[in-house]
Amino acid sequence: MTELSGKVAIVTGAGRGLGRSMAAALVRAGAAVTVAARTGAELDTFVAEATAAGGQALACPTDVTDEAAVEQMVRSTMETFGRVDILVNNSGIVASTPLLDQPAAEWDRVVSTNLRGTYLATRAAGRHLVAQGSGKVINVASNFALQGVANHAAYSASKAGVIAFTRSMAIEWARSGVQVNAIAPGYFATPLNAALREDAEATAKVVRAIPARRMGQPEELEPWLLLLAGSASDFMTGEVIVIDGGQSVR
């Protein structure tokens, strides 16, 4: 029920970290994958590796805050693969700034990337999903959306918005055969937090807040991604799967 041969997926924020890991998992499961991010060189490397392993992938440099660019991302996918079945909205940025010191431009950049980008990509791909009467939208939220985190108001608010958006679209598209769910990861060892992990004291502080006493590994998201991308989740929509080692339960 997680076999994806013949399916076509789009993964945003796929240049590195969790996005790249999820895109690779979809390719291994048999899907053709459009990988999107602002960094074209990383996407080209992914396509070369996927092709060498016998998979199908398309690089599509995209700024998810740009409406025209997002529409072109979906259009290129349709032109290359003829359809779209799965959308993974993973593009996101973090800002760690006390609210009283946070420039409005930084707030806008975080919210625009994390929330507007999810809206634009879902709308663009959703036209095709609804028209064909089937599809999966998987939004990447965060456990920060479920708890108070100092100095992360913009990030937490944007990811909470992603969860609310997920639930609204799940209801809106339920009768169209399209399931919309979210994954809310906690701390995972990715390039996004490489600087933090190089600081032993900072890493120890983070790990102490996680009941499992460790960060997650990107491959630990893969089973949940494939569940939501495959037919096993056909009667599941509007849900949020939290994968954070128990951090949000504290």
For position 12, what pLDDT does the model report? 98
pLDDT at site 57:
98
91-113, pLDDT tens digit by residue? 999 999 999 999 999 999 999 99
The pTM of the full predicted model, rounded to 2 decimals, is 0.95
What does the domain layout of the chain look like in residue ranges?
Answer: 8-249
Enter the CATH code of domain 8-249.
Answer: 3.40.50.720
**Residue 198: per-residue pLDDT:** 87
195 pLDDT band, cuts 50/70/90, is confident
**pLDDT band at residue 152, thresholds of 50, 70 and 90?**
very high
Over residues 204-241, the pLDDT tens digits come to 999 999 999 999 999 999 999 999 999 999 999 999 99
Cα–chain-centroid distance for residue 84? 16
Catalytic residues: 155
User: How many of the other CB atoms lie within 10 Å of CB of 48?
Assistant: 12
Given a contact cutoff of 8 angstroms between Cβ atoms, the answer to whether 95 and 76 are in contact is no
pLDDT in tens, 5-40: 999 999 999 999 999 999 999 999 999 999 999 988
Secondary structure of residue 204 in the 3-state scheme? helix
Q: Which of the four pLDDT bands, split at 50, 70 and 90, describes residue 1? A: low
In 3-state terms, the chain is what percent helix, strand and coil (to 5)?
55, 15, 30
Q: What SS3 state is found at 133? A: coil
And the tokens for 241? 């799967």
Structural tokens at position 207: 């790990």
Report the alpha-carbon distance of residue 87 to residue 8 in Å, rounded.
9
pLDDT digits (tens, 9 = 90+) for 159-194: 999 999 999 999 999 999 999 999 999 999 988 788
